[in-house]
C-alpha cells in the first residue's frame, strides 16, 4: 500500500468510527500526526491536537467520531490553508459538509480526490452524487443512482428525476422500488408519493397510491400531505368513514394519539 493510500485508509477508518464504535483505537490513531502509513515510514497527516490539556479545543477527529458536525466543520475550517489542501482533509470536510446538509460545499471539495485517494474512489463517487441529488445537476445524479440496483439507490434516482422534471424516468425508478421484495414501508411510501405527484393524467394507480398513503402509510414522513394528495388526485371521493378509522388506527399504533383522536372525530 502506498503512503497516499495509507492516508486514505486512515481517514476511512476514522470516519467509520462515527457509526461503528467497535472500530479499535488503533484505527483512529492512524489519523494522528505520528502514525506510520507504509513500511514504518512516517507520513504527515492532518493535524490532531495532543490530548492532556482540558482547555484545548476538541480535536476534529473526536468531533467527527462524535458526529458533532457543526463543531467539526469549524475545527476543520480553522486549519491552515496548506492543511486544508491535503486530500484526506478535503475528503473529511466533504463528508462533514454533507452530514451538515451543506451539499453546495461538497462538490468542490471532492474535485479530483478520486485520483488523490484511489482507495476511496467508489465512496467519493457516491458522495458526489448525493450532493448532486440536493443541488444538481439532477439528471446526472438520477442517471448514476438509476444504474445501481439497491432499492435505496432507485429511490434516490426517482427523487433526482422528479427534481429534473423527467416523469418518465422517475416513474421507472419508482416501479423498481415498488417491485423490490425487501423495500421498507418508508421506501414504499415515498415511491407511492412520487408516483402520485407525477401522474398526468391521473389514473386508478395514482388514486390508490394517494389513498394508501392517507390510510396504511399515514404515520410515515412521505404521507405528510397525503390528505391534500387525495383531494388532488380524487377530488370527488374523499376518504370514507372506514378509511378514516384505518388512518386513526395507524396513527394510534405509531404513538400519535392526538392525531388519531382527531381522525376519529372526523
Could you report the per-residue pLDDT of 192-241, keeping only the tens digit for each? 999 999 988 889 999 999 999 999 999 999 999 999 999 999 999 999 99
Give the tens place of pLDDT for each residue, 56-66: 789 999 999 99
Domain contains 8: yes
Give me the long-range contacts of 173-176 (CB less than 8 A, separation at least 24).
173/142, 173/145, 173/146, 176/151
Q: What percent of the chain has pLDDT over 90?
A: 71
Which pTM does this prediction carry? 0.76
On whether both 55 and 145 belong to a single domain, the answer is no
Strand partners, 41: 38
What mean pLDDT value characterizes the chain? 84
Indicate whether 171 and 211 sit together in one domain. no
Please report whether residue 177 resides in a domain. yes
**66 and 152 inside one domain:** no
122 shares its domain with 250: no
Check whether residue 58 and residue 112 sit in a common domain: yes
Determine the pLDDT at residue 53.
58
* Residue 151 pLDDT > 60: yes
Domain that holds residue 243: 200-266
**Which residues on adjacent β-strands are paired with residue 42?**
36
Asked whether residue 39 falls in the same domain as residue 56, the answer is yes
Assess if residue 194 is contained within a domain: no
Please state which of the ranges 10-14, 71-75, 148-152, 173-177 shows the lowest mean pLDDT.
Answer: 10-14
Domain count for the chain: 3
pLDDT of 33 higher than 60? no
Which of 126-129's residues contact partners 24+ apart within 8 Å by CB, and which partners? 127/94, 127/95, 127/98
- In this structure, the answer to whether residues 207 and 236 fall within a common structural domain is yes
Q: What is the pLDDT of residue 56?
A: 76
Amino acid at each position: 500500500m502506498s503512503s497516499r493510500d495509507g492516508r486514505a485508509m486512515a481517514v476511512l477508518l476514522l470516519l467509520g468510527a462515527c457509526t461503528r464504535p467497535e472500530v479499535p483505537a488503533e484505527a483512529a490513531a492512524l489519523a494522528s500526526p505520528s502514525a506510520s502509513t507504509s513500511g514504518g515510514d512516517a507520513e504527515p497527516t492532518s493535524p490532531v491536537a495532543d490530548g492532556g490539556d482540558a482547555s484545548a479545543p476538541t480535536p476534529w477527529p473526536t468531533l467527527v467520531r462524535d458526529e458533532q458536525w457543526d463543531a467539526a466543520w469549524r475545527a476543520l475550517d480553522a486549519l491552515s490553508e496548506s492543511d486544508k489542501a491535503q486530500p484526506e482533509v478535503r475528503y473529511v470536510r466533504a463528508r462533514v459538509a454533507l452530514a451538515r446538509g451543506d451539499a453546495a460545499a461538497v462538490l468542490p471539495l471532492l474535485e479530483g480526490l478520486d485520483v488523490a485517494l484511489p482507495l476511496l474512489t467508489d465512496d467519493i463517487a457516491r458522495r458526489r452524487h448525493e450532493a448532486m441529488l440536493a443541488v444538481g445537476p439532477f439528471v446526472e445524479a438520477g442517471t448514476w443512482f438509476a444504474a445501481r440496483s439497491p432499492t435505496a439507490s432507485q429511490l434516490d434516482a426517482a427523487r433526482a428525476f422528479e427534481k429534473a422534471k423527467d416523469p418518465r424516468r422517475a416513474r421507472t425508478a419508482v416501479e423498481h422500488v415498488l417491485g423490490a421484495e425487501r423495500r421498507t414501508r418508508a421506501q414504499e411510501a415515498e415511491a407511492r408519493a412520487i408516483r402520485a405527484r407525477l401522474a398526468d393524467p391521473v389514473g386508478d394507480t395514482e388514486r390508490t397510491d394517494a389513498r394508501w398513503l392517507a390510510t396504511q402509510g399515514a404515520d410515515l414522513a412521505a404521507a405528510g400531505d397525503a390528505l391534500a394528495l387525495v383531494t388532488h388526485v380524487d377530488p370527488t371521493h374523499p376518504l370514507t368513514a372506514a378509511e378514516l378509522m384505518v388512518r386513526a388506527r395507524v396513527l394510534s399504533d405509531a404513538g400519535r394519539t392526538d392525531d388519531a383522536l382527531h381522525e376519529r372525530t372526523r
